[in-house]
């Protein structure tokens, strides 16, 4: 994968977490990819870390959305 022009917006542990993050970003119109974290060893639970990357022009929006989700500031539109 040529990830030139992509930036890391999150680091996930395990395939479930990285898939959730990518799905969330993609549902909000942000193309996201999973990349194995470079030079990182598995954590104490034996899970390796992955990086979630997005095109650089989406980085600020992606980080903002992830921060809002982490704080619980997002709601589901019932419309």
> What are the φ/ψ torsions at residue 61 (nearest 5 degrees)?
-65, -45
Mean pLDDT confidence for 29-53: 78
Predicted TM-score (pTM) of the model is 0.77
* Annotated domain spans of the chain: 6-71
User: How confident is the model at residue 40, as a pLDDT?
Assistant: 54
Q: What is the mean pLDDT of residues 40-64?
A: 83
Range 66-74 average pLDDT: 87
40: its two tokens:
């990182």
Per-residue confidence (pLDDT) for residue 79, from 0 to 100: 40
Are 53 and 8 contacting, i.e. CB atoms less than 8 angstroms apart?
yes
């Amino acid at each position: 994968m040529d990830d030139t022009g992509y930036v890391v917006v999150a680091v996930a542990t395990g395939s479930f977490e990285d898939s959730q993050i990518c799905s969330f970003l993609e549902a909000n119109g942000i193309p996201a990819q999973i990349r194995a974290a470079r030079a990182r060893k598995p954590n104490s639970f034996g899970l390796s870390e992955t990086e979630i990357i997005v095109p650089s022009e989406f980085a600020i929006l992606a980080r903002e959305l992830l921060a809002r989700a982490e704080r619980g500031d997002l709601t589901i539109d019932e419309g």
